[in-house]
Structure 1
């Protein structure tokens, strides 16, 4: 008995014999599939621009000998369309020799049907292939759900804010500290499509974040990046630690999983003076200046709080740049905030 087709499963059918192509389309549509057709590789590539098939059925020979054949289309899909990596590719051909079958298998063709078309066998093969892919996808979805559950438990124990998202920026989870940043400070938000947004970040910083995530998508699991997410006010800068948690290299964005560790004055208390002094090798005066600036206090107010001139504050600021290895105030603030993840609070004040 032929398995029932998946609900509205999408099939791309490529055949240069137009009468046979029409018959294939009619049979597949009658079986409940959503079918798109093409008579050449060039036409198939156009169809693929706005149609993502669940299965591809393709003739081997398509037109003249100098035209791309079914093997060429298969190679293009496997190399250029990672989103179709698991999509079954079935060849339909008049070449029924054992050597032809072996060649197809060696090249990674999923199934090989010989003309004249046995439609019962064709429909059974398509249904079986789609069912097999469905089981794999269900298993992968279960594994991803398990992983997300474990990550939620881990991040709930961390002292700082953590966001989980996929490669498209869709928010999957925010721990308690991250939710507080949204509810109390509006540092981030989710748009109508469920994508993570940083409403106060500078455009250049957002572009860097997008680029970093795209590059991490091509890396192995466990690779990390750190970047400063600069805000409209330099003192509001956020340090983001990006960690790839899941997703094969070159997998589509929706299959990637990232953790974003958020360091800001709101997500973690600014380290005490003594902690900053020990971590960065600062003088006590430099540590006081650094701590006040990380709290969003301007140079003039820092000078007043410490009872020194603005020139003295600027002198300490230059020393801070040199000792922390940064060149901008926003980067300095982010460095200081990041220390809040690693150092315990120590005795000391900012006065």
Structure 2
């Protein structure tokens, strides 16, 4: 019965269904009026004759006699037959669509249930798209939640990407996303009110979730933090890149090393082996608190090979890098990112075995001691 009620509701919303209902009304009106005036029947028999003729039952208890009566009965029967076929087609199509929706929904629920070590991106506007691009550069898993279906049309879904047309402000949506198994929730809708509601609801449902939120207005930053956001980024002063780094902070580690340019190729090999990335390099000069920083980001294989080739075979590049490394006594730091903490830890452990790792998340005082030590 619930399925039939759904079909009726679908007919109301569907233009073809509404036309079908209108056609039924017209045909029955035509049959009843024709039976009354042409067949000479009373109102009860007019309704009865119309029903059995449209349904092509034809018990034979009422027989048309005159040519006009026969023409009327024939037209009513043929029209009824066409109407039944039309309604039957609509019902079949509605069942097929409902079955497809059920299957699609179950398939989506299964995919969502299987996701883990992923990021949840709520909102796929300009900022959300920028964050998504940063996630894809680093081969991260992501579930995108967007209530505007058109914004999701160009997303290519695979095992690592799910695009869900839904409203992230609804509890039932958030409960589907495996937030307790995710690496973080990134809230980037264009409405600070929606962002506030998503942050507040997520924090209530999942106490330990790592939540990063966009704030369109500076005055919303404090509200979002009070609602439970771990980090709040304002695109007025930042972009998708900053939001990404805030989101991956639990899986972003600052390491300090001491080596020369001869170790660069091996360093890239270790990071690649564990699907990690060297986000930047910080050169530490003795006694100077702020290091000289160069952004590296995500390099593809061709860019890495080109860089290593220049270091090996281009005397000018090799000499300039040697000067830089010598000026800081080989002491420098990197931010390393990875798909999750396990991969980052494995990369760091292997770097440690190479004997060049000085420490993890060291402060200025600790790093400065190393720079002075190696200078001596």
TM-score, with structure 2 as normaliser: 0.32
- Rg larger for: 2
Structure having the higher helix fraction is 2
TM-score, with structure 1 as normaliser: 0.34
